[in-house]
Chain A
């Protein structure tokens, strides 16, 4: 048994950032393990879950829709319900929204173009576990690469989420037409987060930015805390 908190990275057919996410988590002190979309349970001892980027099920129907009903999602739902930290990156964010574990939905970019560039996002709330290594107002440079990243919710939901601090990251500029420039949200309890930018591609300043490490290392912290709480 390793001292490092175990974080499961789920692979769906069409996931393509699962290995990058696992590598980054490993570099940041986690014990990353792979989970498969058809698994009915998460790997033993998993204290955190990452749904990685990619094009699960070829983006059939709507992005994330097919993956949201994959067998492994029952286990992810139960894990989230028990307070375990769950992070969805890009396609993972789309999946969590379609699974209704997060509010809103990701729609095709307004410009109908795939966007692939470093973007600046501003931290709106640093209280949820994933943002505890950041401060409010801090700007992070993290790459995006998506065709369907325009987050949307109805006006009433949007106002409620903003009031409750569930909108945690906003783009500094207009990237994809997302309502309110939303780049990342958390659930009401704060233990499930989704974001369109790819923190796993920004963990080393040599490759452009190390800002993504702040989010992933905070996930590793949260997994360690969750393991401790579960053992108590």
Chain B
């Protein structure tokens, strides 16, 4: 899960919030991120997490503007 960091302007999130408000929902904040599902062969969970950390910092997220969260599920 990759999200815009706190404090980073998220114009897409703001636009979505405005549309939700138009639909009558009392939404005070919306942030739009992205979910990346990966199938990965790894030695164990620690190895999988280490690989995913590297993927996130090297490509999947830009640490200047995005934070990420890794969730592991066994196959």
Contacts and interface: CB of A to CB of B under 8 A. Distances in A.
Do these two chains interact? yes
Given A112-B12, A112-B15, A177-B9, A107 B65 contact: yes
Interface of B: 8-9, 11-12, 15, 58-60, 62, 64-65
Contact of A108 (B12, B58, B60): B12
Given A110-B11, A177-B9, A105 B59 contact: no
Contacts of A65: 59, 62
A105 B11 contact: no
A61 B60 contact: yes
A152 interface: yes
A3 interface: no
A107 B8 CA distance: 10
A107 B12 CA distance: 11
A104 interface: yes
Nearest to B58: A69
B15 A153 contact: no
Contact of A154 (B9, B11, B60, B64): B64
Nearest to B15: A112
B60 A153 contact: no
Contacts of B15: 112
A62 B11 contact: no
The 3 A-B pairs at the shortest CB distance, nearest first, are namely A112-B11, A105-B64, A105-B62
A69 B62 CA distance: 13
A199 to B, nearest CB: 26
Contact of B64 (A61, A104, A111): A104
A98 interface: yes
Nearest to B5: A154
A37 to B, nearest CB: 16
Contacts of B9: 107, 110, 177
Given A108-B11, A112-B12, A177-B9, A98 B62 contact: yes
Contacts of B58: 69
A192 to B, nearest CB: 17
Nearest to B64: A105
Nearest to A154: B64
Contacts of B65: 105, 107, 152
B31 to A, nearest CB: 13
A164 B60 CA distance: 30
Nearest to B11: A112
30 contacts: A61-B59, A61-B60, A62-B62, A65-B59, A65-B62, A69-B58, A69-B59, A98-B62, A104-B64, A105-B62, A105-B64, A105-B65, A107-B8, A107-B9, A107-B65, A108-B11, A108-B12, A109-B11, A110-B11, A111-B11, A112-B11, A112-B12, A112-B15, A152-B8, A152-B64, A152-B65, A153-B64, A154-B64, A177-B9, A177-B11
